[in-house]
């Protein structure tokens, strides 16, 4: 039976067909749908959201140690969080197949960088597979588990946004039986203290030599010889772009780009006149091919930044400019916080109190945009609290108004340790936890504060206030960010307090059913409106300026923030 | 065949392109579809590439190779002119969603028609809301536009209706199939 699946759905299907028992992940675009598909459709697999990616990989490794096939899924920057276990896992005995999916994001559609995670395969010394289509995403998932068990190693399955989120026709097959968990003790292979790890390291090096032989013969790397005047080595979606641009060229398609099939590469290079390496981001393949002493071209013409496309590949290899019409300047549509978003009131209150706001990863990062201009730093998950602490230490307590904002899911992910440090080291920064009861940016996933698991079971609902106090923070307050004046007052109190302070800004995401707004559109009394623009300063997509007066469009959900702020009392309706 | 759908977040482009892809698969084609999720959902531009033939390589359409551009919003049409050639057909829904700079009074909403005409003369305007008429289904314009598009494609009405029946949820099925058929009845001018 054939079905249209996205790359992520196909990986989930592959996990089912491969007999996977356990899957763990933290949501992150473009990887999120893998676990959602498993949880929604394949209930025989235990699937869970973990607080962060390190936990996900370690949980999956636990499954593997118990002898069952296990999957960990994350976006590219998530692998940084999981890098600690990843580097040592290859030293340990992998019993049940262990596959790590890394979904990279060239072009930064929804990320803070565009790092190339293929380097992790080389860094951790593990094999890597890279599908070019949804069909391969499914097939390679199954294959990755076989390789993992045959070579007793974790396997990296690397996708990019275009593979994870593109859809294609996939032929479905029957799932195989899941393995039963079995308890075995292998302390010499599972306890990584120096004496054991020292003995395990040479095994990794031997394994990599065997995997190189495997790479040459396994059928995952395929030579397609046509016109030999142009030969292209490629992998992932870049292969599709190159095929589109040069359908008559000869190809070496690398389904297993690490370790590289050296013999095949030499053979292929010998058959073609002009050899090009077409890959997105870094010259990962190109540098290794050059290290074999083979002359080839690639990144001297193909950009290391952003996505490729059929046109970019064509223009690079044929040395012709991309054809392009004269563009008119079109007004952009940058993403913005939703109408009625509870973050808006809090960010506005901080801005009005003239705070320097260390941001974090989540919807509130969009508060960076004008007219709010409310985010001053954003680096990675959990960094904002630590920035704020470091900055306020640099200035000395009470000198500058340094604040950090962090969402509830990001707080659970990697904010807790930062807050502990703030309390431990006598910090003075004000930390605002934007508790909207969900992981909003990736499409409303549950987390340890929501009381529901990925599989829909009722579970614990961590009380953030209790947790914050347990970490040693004594000044803690809760606010409703829709009550803008009370919120501003509380921010002022926090800034004036001695020592670290935490404000929990509590209101559910406006996309949740539990949202704290009326849902009804407010109206401006144009007689009363003085055109002062105070409401426009909120940056709400529901507020427009028409004939120099405020106008509320149908996007309004009635949160009432603008109504409370309006100095002329011109905004009314059902709040 | 390369079909590009363009519009803004919340207009139902993803569902419309899902249905198109399903129809073409059942019609016997290899199909690929590509769009960007994530931050695009927050009020941004949305585009979906649907490609079908015997075998499709790239999931995205090369520049100047779009056969049909189905645009759900006037301004968004102009963002994709690089994909058009002189044989391309462009269907534009009469709908304007003001971008933030227009809302803030810094830009005016541009007339994009002359710009598209530089690439192709085959431009058809449709008013999805008018077609919706008495259906009382304001969110169903996507399926109406899919109905308009379907008249330019090979599969028969029965296959479209079969897929719609299969893919739409109970509550919205009947009204959307009616919308689809109304869209199919629109004469392109």
Please tell me which of the candidates A166, A330, A336 has its beta carbon nearest to residue B43: A336
Q: Which residues of A touch B105 (CB under 8 A)?
A: 545
Other Cβ atoms within 10 Å of A30 Cβ, number: 28
Helix then strand then coil, in percent of chain A rounded to 5, is 40, 20, 45
What SS3 string covers A441-474?
CCCCECCCCCCECCCCCECCCCCHHHHHHHCCCC
Say if residue A534 is in the same domain as residue A497: no
What SS3 string covers A208-251?
HHHHHHHHHHCCCEEEECCEEEEEEEECHHHHHHHHHHCCCEEE
**A110: contact with B, CB 8 A cutoff:** yes
Q: Which residues of A touch B48 (CB under 8 A)?
A: none
User: What distances in angstroms separate CA A540 from CA A359, A368, A421, one per listed residue?
Assistant: 19, 13, 35
**Domain chopping of chain B, boundaries:** 2-184
Other Cβ atoms within 10 Å of A210 Cβ, number: 12
Say if residue A143 is in the same domain as residue A98: yes
- Does residue A252 carry a pLDDT above 60? yes
What SS3 string covers A73-90?
EEEHHHHHHCHHHHHHHH
What b/e string do you get for B147-185 counting C-beta neighbours within 10 Å, with b at 16 or more? bbbbeebebeeebbeebbeeebeeeeeebbbbbbbbbbe
- Does residue A22 carry a pLDDT above 60? yes
- Does residue A3 carry a pLDDT above 50? yes
Average pLDDT of every residue of chain A: 96
Query: Which domain-ending residue is among A454, A473, A506?
Result: A506
The nearest alpha carbon in chain B to A311 belongs to: B62
Residue B106 is predicted with a pLDDT of 85
Q: Which of residues 525-554 of A touch B (CB under 8 A)?
A: 536, 541, 543-545
Residue B105 is predicted with a pLDDT of 79
**Residue A169 and residue B119: Cβ atoms within 8 Å?**
no
Please tell me which of the candidates A314, A335, A536 has its beta carbon nearest to residue B39: A335
Bridge partners of A358, per DSSP, are: A377, A404
Q: Which residues of A touch B21 (CB under 8 A)?
A: 4, 167
Question: In the predicted model, what is the mean pLDDT of residues A233-246?
Answer: 98
State the residue range of the domain holding A278: 221-318
Cβ contacts from A onto B, under 8 A: 142
CA distance B174 to A355: 54
**Residue B38 and residue A545: Cβ atoms within 8 Å?**
no
User: What distances in angstroms separate CA B126 from CA A316, A334, B69, B71, B123, one per listed residue?
Assistant: 40, 27, 13, 10, 10
Please, are residues B55 and A241 in contact by the beta-carbon 8 Å criterion? no
* Strands of the A356-358 sheet, one edge to the other: A356-358, A402-407, A430-435, A501-506, A475-479
Query: Which domain-ending residue is among A202, A217, A232?
Result: A217
- Residue A246: HSE in the Cβ half-sphere, 13 Å Cα cutoff: 26
Please tell me which of the candidates A2, A322, A336 has its beta carbon nearest to residue B25: A2
Is A560 inside a domain boundary?
A: yes
**B162: contact with A, CB 8 A cutoff:** no
Is A325 inside a domain boundary?
A: no
CA distance A32 to A407: 18
Is A516 inside a domain boundary?
A: no
CA distance B46 to B35: 8
- Residue A516: HSE in the Cβ half-sphere, 13 Å Cα cutoff: 17
Nearest Cα neighbor of A57 from A41, A80, A91, A30 is A80
Say if residue A51 is in the same domain as residue A154: yes
Longest dimension (CA), chain A: 82
Say if residue A232 is in the same domain as residue A213: no
Residues A509-554: pLDDT tens digits?
Answer: 999 999 999 999 999 999 999 999 999 999 998 998 888 999 998 8
Q: How far is A545 from chain B (nearest CA, A)?
A: 6
CA distance A115 to A101: 15
**B163: contact with A, CB 8 A cutoff:** no
- Does residue A199 carry a pLDDT above 90? yes
Domain count, chain A: 4
| Kind of pairing between the strands at B30-35 and A167-171 | antiparallel
Residue B40 is predicted with a pLDDT of 47
Q: Which residues of B touch A333 (CB under 8 A)?
A: 8, 43-45, 99-100
**Residue A109 and residue B33: Cβ atoms within 8 Å?**
no
The nearest alpha carbon in chain B to A542 belongs to: B103
Say if residue A502 is in the same domain as residue A547: no
Residue A324 is predicted with a pLDDT of 59
Query: Which domain-ending residue is among A217, A234, A259?
Result: A217
**Residue A110 and residue B62: Cβ atoms within 8 Å?**
no
Please tell me which of the candidates B8, B62, B78 has its beta carbon nearest to residue A330: B78
Say if residue A21 is in the same domain as residue A150: yes
Our CA angle for A539, A542, A547, nearest 5°, is 90
**Residue B57 and residue A244: Cβ atoms within 8 Å?**
yes
Nearest Cα neighbor of A492 from A562, A387, A401 is A401
What SS3 string covers chain B?
CEEEEEEECCCCHHHHHHHHHHHHHHCCCEEEEEECCHHHHCCCEEEEEEEEECCCCCCCCCCCCCCEEEECCHHHHHCCHHHCCCCCEEEEECCCCCCHHHHCCCCCCCCCHHHHHCCCCCEEEECHHHHHHHHCCHHHHHHHHHHHHHCCCCCCHHHHHHHHHHHCCHHHHHHHHHHHHHHHCCCCC
Please tell me which of the candidates A166, A310, A331 has its beta carbon nearest to residue B107: A331
Three-class SS state of A4: strand
Say if residue A493 is in the same domain as residue A527: no
- Which two tokens mark A411? 């707080």
Residues A364-405: pLDDT tens digits?
Answer: 999 999 899 999 999 999 999 999 999 999 999 889 999 999
Please, are residues A503 and A465 in contact by the beta-carbon 8 Å criterion? no
Say if residue A44 is in the same domain as residue A150: yes
| pLDDT-flagged residues of chain B (< 50) | 40
Backbone angles phi, psi at A429, to 5 degrees: -70, 155
**Residue B34 and residue A165: Cβ atoms within 8 Å?**
yes
**A108: contact with B, CB 8 A cutoff:** no
- Does residue A4 carry a pLDDT above 70? yes
Q: Which of residues 335-394 of A touch B (CB under 8 A)?
A: 335-338, 363, 366, 371
**Residue A30 and residue B38: Cβ atoms within 8 Å?**
yes
Say if residue A225 is in the same domain as residue A202: no
Bridge partners of A571, per DSSP, are: A524
DSSP state of A437: S
Q: DSSP strand E in A309-453: where?
A: 356-358, 402-407, 430-435
Say if residue A404 is in the same domain as residue A487: yes
Say if residue A233 is in the same domain as residue A293: yes
Say if residue A139 is in the same domain as residue A264: no
The nearest alpha carbon in chain A to B118 belongs to: A325
CA distance A343 to A336: 11
Domain B2-184 in CATH: superfamily?
Pyruvate-ferredoxin oxidoreductase, PFOR, domain III (3.40.920.10)
Please tell me which of the candidates A4, A161, A311 has its beta carbon nearest to residue B62: A311
**B22: contact with A, CB 8 A cutoff:** yes
Residues A311-366: pLDDT tens digits?
Answer: 999 999 999 876 655 567 899 888 889 999 999 999 999 999 999 999 999 999 99
Please, are residues A455 and A414 in contact by the beta-carbon 8 Å criterion? no
CATH assignment at residue A402: 3.40.50.970
């Amino acid at each position: 039976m054939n079905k249209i699946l996205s790359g992520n759905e196909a990986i989930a299907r592959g996990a089912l067909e491969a007999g996977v028992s356990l899957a763990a992940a933290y949501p992150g675009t473009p990887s999120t749908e893998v676990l959602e598909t498993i949880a929604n459709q394949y209930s025989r697999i235990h699937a869970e959201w973990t607080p962060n990616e390190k936990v996900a990989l370690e949980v999956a490794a636990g499954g593997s140690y118990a002898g069952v096939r296990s999957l960990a899924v994350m976006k590219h920057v998530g692998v940084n969080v999981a890098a600690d276990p990843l580097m040592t896992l290859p030293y340990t005995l992998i019993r049940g197949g262990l596959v790590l999916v890394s979904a990279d994001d060239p072009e930064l559609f929804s990320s803070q960088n565009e790092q190339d995670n293929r380097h992790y395969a080389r860094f951790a010394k593990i094999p890597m597979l890279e599908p070019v289509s949804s069909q391969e995403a499914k097939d390679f998932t199954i294959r990755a588990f076989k390789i993992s068990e045959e070579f007793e190693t974790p396997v990296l399955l690397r996708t990019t946004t275009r593979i994870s989120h593109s859809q294609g026709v996939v032929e479905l097959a029957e799932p195989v039986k899941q393995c039963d968990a079995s308890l075995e003790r292998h302390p010499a292979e599972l306890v990584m203290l120096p004496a054991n790890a020292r003995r395990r390291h040479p095994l990794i090096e031997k394994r990599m030599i065997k995997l190189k032989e495997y790479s040459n013969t396994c059928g995952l790397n395929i030579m397609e010889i046509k016109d030999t005047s142009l030969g292209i080595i490629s992998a992932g979606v870049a292969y599709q772009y190159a095929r589109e641009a040069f359908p008559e060229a000869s190809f070496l398609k690398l389904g297993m780009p690490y370790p590289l099939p050296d013999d095949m590469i030499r053979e292929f290079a010998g058959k073609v006149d002009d050899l090009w390496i077409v890959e997105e981001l870094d010259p990962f393949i190109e540098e290794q091919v050059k290290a074999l002493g083979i002359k080839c071209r690639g990144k001297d013409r193909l950009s290391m930044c952003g996505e490729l496309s059929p046109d970019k590949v064509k223009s690079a290899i044929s040395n012709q400019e991309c054809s392009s019409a004269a563009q008119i300047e079109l007004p952009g549509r940058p993403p913005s916080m939703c109408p009625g978003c509870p973050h808006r009131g809090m960010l506005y209150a901080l801005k009005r109190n003239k705070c320097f706001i260390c941001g974090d990863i989540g919807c509130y990062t969009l508060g960076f945009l004008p007219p709010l201009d409310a985010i001053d730093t954003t680096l990675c998950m959990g960094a904002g609290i630590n920035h704020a602490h470091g900055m306020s230490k640099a200035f000395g307590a009470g000198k500058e108004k340094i604040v950090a904002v962090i969402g509830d899911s990001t707080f659970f992910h990697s904010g807790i340790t930062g807050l502990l440090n703030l309390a431990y080291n006598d910090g003075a920064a004000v930390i605002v936890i934007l508790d909207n009861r969900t992981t909003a940016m990736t499409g409303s996933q549950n987390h340890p504060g929501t009381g529901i698991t990925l599989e829909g079971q009722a579970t614990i609902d961590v009380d953030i206030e209790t947790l914050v106090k347990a970490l040693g923070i004594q000044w803690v307050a809760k606010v409703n960010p829709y009550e803008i004046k009370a919120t501003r007052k509380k921010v002022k109190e926090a800034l004036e307090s001695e020592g670290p302070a935490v404000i929990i800004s509590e209101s559910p995401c406006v996309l949740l059913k539990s949202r704290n707004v009326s849902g009804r559109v407010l109206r401006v009394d144009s007689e009363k409106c003085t055109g002062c623009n105070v409401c426009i300063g909120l940056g709400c997509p529901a507020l427009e300026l028409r004939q120099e007066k405020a106008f509320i469009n149908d996007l309004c959900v009635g949160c009432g923030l603008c109504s409370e702020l309006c100095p002329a009392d011109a905004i009314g309706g059902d709040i | 065949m390369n079909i590009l759908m363009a519009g803004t977040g919340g207009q139902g482009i993803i569902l419309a392109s899902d249905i198109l892809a399903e129809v073409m698969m059942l019609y016997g084609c290899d199909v690929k579809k590509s769009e960007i999720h994530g931050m695009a959902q927050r009020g941004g531009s949305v585009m979906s590439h649907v490609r079908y033939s015997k075998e499709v390589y790239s999931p995205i359409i090369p520049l100047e190779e779009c056969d049909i551009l189905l645009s759900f919003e006037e301004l968004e049409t102009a963002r994709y002119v690089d994909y058009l050639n002189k044989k391309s057909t462009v269907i534009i829904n009469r709908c304007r969603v003001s971008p933030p700079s227009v809302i803030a009074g810094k830009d005016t909403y541009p007339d994009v028609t002359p710009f598209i005409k530089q690439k192709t003369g085959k431009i058809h305007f449709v008013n999805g809301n008018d077609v919706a008429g008495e259906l009382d289904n304001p969110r169903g314009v996507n399926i109406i536009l899919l109905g308009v598009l379907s008249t330019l494609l090979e599969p028969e009405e029965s296959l479209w209706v079969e897929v719609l029946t299969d893919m739409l949820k109970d509550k919205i099925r009947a009204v959307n199939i009616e919308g689809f058929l109304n869209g199919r009845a629109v004469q392109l001018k």
